[in-house]
Amino acid sequence: MKRSSITKVWLSSCCALPLLGFAQKRPHIILIFTDQQNVNAMSAAGNPFLYTPNMDALANDGIRFTNAYCTSPVSGPSRASIVTGLMAREAGVEWNDNSKLSEGIHTVGDLLGENGYRTVWAGKWHIPEIYPQRSKNEIKYLHGFELLPFWDAPNKHWLLGAETDPPLTDAVVSFLDGYDEREKPLFLAISYHNPHDICMYPRKVGWETMSDSLLNIRPFGKYKLPEPMGVHPDSLSYLPPLPGNFSKNVDEPEFIIDKRVKPNPYGDEVQLSSRFSGREWQAYLNSYYRLTELVDKEIGEVIEALKRNGMYENSLIIFTSDHGDGMAAHEWAAKLSFYEESVKVPLIMVLPEKWQRGAVNSGLVSLVDLVPTFCDYAGVSPKTNFAGMSLRRAIYPTEERWRDFVVAELADHLKDRTRKGRMIRTGRYKYAIYSSGERNEQLFDLMTDPGETINLAYSKEYWEILKKHRSLLVKWMKERGDNFKVVTYEK
């Protein structure tokens, strides 16, 4: 998409909202996000099978959104939305490949950096370089961000978050300890790798012993995985239970079935995990929870550094993840799915004024809302036609109502780039449509069927609801210049 089509004047009234009493100086803005964290993988969400005291502490100090969605359930595209406020397609990044942000696209680093903020990026990037610090270029420019070095690039492994996350935290803490607040307000993005290490679990070829975490990992060979990922499930005394929607839907769209069974190295975790027994799925969940606890520990050290340096009280802090994880629901591992487990994300917002502590907000929000929110709190009014809105409108009453739906996009195959999907979530229902295959539509009543086990798209009594959601999606696509073809097969 050409730049001219996405640079209309932003007429949203969100920037006109009152500042509501937070400190007169502009706040620091701290974005902390993990990779591949399910919305329920947090003890603050009521999950008894893991303990995340530092994420919980943020939730206690802020607002936890329970219906937050990514724009595309895979790293690179979602991250493109996180830094631009555009849908991934609009930003020019639809796949995890070598796609770069389209020419002329402005990131939050550009927008805030041009308006008095020091903008720093720490950790994983993935647009397209996973870790730009590995780049051979002497100058590593990240679209308006200063890159915070944290790792000895030529001599270190970069495969696992268990390896990269601790030194990333050390570098961030050191940076915060030395930051002079008199210099500029700070925008700092801290992008962690875990619990993404779970992607290695389906790639195991086998255990060396029942308790040895030295595994043969496709295609990396022998590799030491963090405990307890490498421990054989039969040697573990306790494993979390399988979810209530563990079984695959019998009437899944052919598009999804093809993803499960046809060779496709792009997001192949779902194929590799198809051989799992129920017990190994439980071990998958156990490993996933322990990896989430690992990254929670890192987050705690960052929060402690913010408080120690007097920055916490005048900071807007956002905690989230780029996308979720299937977590064994529908026998699905990892991402690239419109099922709730993969497309929803945790989202916590700690306000500079520290109001609404411990609040839970069920409004429909999207990661595309982050950049408008950052600009709002920074007092910056860009001309970008954002696909999202400032979250301040979702948490403070205004004359304008909050949105009625969110949209997500999917492109799940690198070689067959015609394979795509679109999803729209309204207050009660979720509708998804895919570009190919039989039964290419899904409709779920999330009030009566939160596990998405009954596809209502072909039930006569839901015909009007189906048509309404089709129409909403088509209208939105027209407004955003999306040329995805909504082709339906009536019965």
Q: What is the CATH number of the domain that holds 465?
A: 3.30.1120.10
CATH of the domain at 387: 3.40.720.10
Residue 233 has a pLDDT of 86
CA-to-CA separations, 403 to 151, 366, 464, 482, in angstroms, rounded: 42, 10, 21, 19
> Do the Cβ atoms of 466 and 458 come closer than 8 Å?
no
Eight-state DSSP code of residue 106? P
CA angle 246, 96, 391 (to 5 degrees): 75
Taking only the tens place, the pLDDT of each residue in 335-376 is: 999 999 999 999 999 999 888 999 999 999 999 999 999 999
Helix (H/G/I), strand (E/B), else coil: 227: coil
Report the chain's C-alpha Rg in angstroms.
22
Distance (Å, whole) CA 424 – CA 457? 13
Domain identity same for 107 and 137: yes
Nearest one of 386, 346, 364, 399 to 62, comparing CA atoms: 346
Tell whether 372 is covered by a domain.
yes
Note whether 194 and 325 are within 8 A (CB): no
178 and 65 in one domain?
yes
55 and 191 part of one domain: yes
Stretch 285-312: mean pLDDT: 97
Domain end residue (candidates: 343, 369, 403): 403
Report pLDDT digits (tens) over 43-89. Answer: 999 999 999 999 999 999 999 999 999 999 999 999 999 999 999 99
**Which amino acid belongs to residue 109?**
G
Residue 242 lies in a domain: no
The tokens of 172 are what? 């961030």
In a domain, 212, yes or no: no
Adjacency order of strands within the sheet including 221-224? 204-207, 214-217, 221-224
Residue 141's pLDDT band, with cuts at 50, 70 and 90, is low
Residue 6 confidence (pLDDT): 33
Residue 222 has pLDDT above 80, yes or no: no
Which positions ≥6 away from 478 have C-beta within 8 Å? none
In a domain, 140, yes or no: yes
Same domain, 39 and 112: yes
Of the listed ranges 89-103, 111-125, 163-177, 436-450, the one predicted with least confidence: 89-103
On whether both 298 and 446 belong to a single domain, the answer is no
Residue 490 placed within a domain: no
The last residue of a domain, from among 403, 426, 447: 403
Last-in-domain residue among 382, 403, 424: 403
Token look-up 């979390």 returns: 240
Domain count, the chain: 2
Residues 313 and 423 in one domain: no
8: pLDDT strictly greater than 50 = no
Q: Is the pLDDT reported for residue 437 higher than 90?
A: yes
Instruction: Give the span between the Cα atoms of 149 and 168, in whole angstroms.
Output: 8
- The boundaries of the domain holding residue 136 are 3-198+285-403
Q: Tell me what percent of the residues of the chain surpass a pLDDT of 90.
A: 74
On whether residue 232 sits in a domain, the answer given is no
Reported as a single tens digit per residue, the pLDDT across 380-414 is: 999 999 999 999 999 987 767 899 999 999 999 98
Dihedral sign of CA atoms 106, 417, 37, 339 in order = positive
What span, in angstroms and rounded, lies between the C-alpha atoms of 435 and 484? 8
**How large is the average pLDDT for residues 81-108?**
94
Identify whether residues 381 and 439 lie together within a single domain: no
Query: What is the 8-class DSSP label of residue 169?
Result: H
For residue 179, tell me if it sits in a domain.
Answer: yes
Residue 229: pLDDT band (50, 70, 90) is confident
Q: How many CA atoms lie within 13 A of 290 on its CB side?
A: 20
pLDDT for position 399: 63
Residue 259 lies in a domain: no
- Residues 12 and 143 both lie in one domain: yes
At residue 95, the pLDDT reads 94
Is the pLDDT at 1 greater than 70? The verdict is no
Least Cα distance to 237 among 286, 177, 169, 302 occurs for: 286
Mean pLDDT of the chain: 90
More confident residue, 232 or 210: 232
- Taking CA atoms, 134 is separated from 174, 322, 354, 358, in Å, by 21, 21, 38, 40
Judge contact between 138 and 127, C-beta under 8 A. no
Does residue 484 surpass a pLDDT of 50? Answer: yes
Same structural domain, 443 and 425: yes
Q: Are residues 41 and 166 in the same domain?
A: yes
Choose between 319 and 487: higher pLDDT. Answer: 319
Q: Are residues 419 and 397 in the same domain?
A: no
C-beta of residue 13 within 8 angstroms of C-beta of residue 400: yes
* Residues shown for the chain: 491
Who wins on pLDDT, 203 or 15?
Answer: 203
Task: Give dist(CA 430, CA 405) in Å, integer.
Answer: 9
Residues 317 and 427 both lie in one domain: no
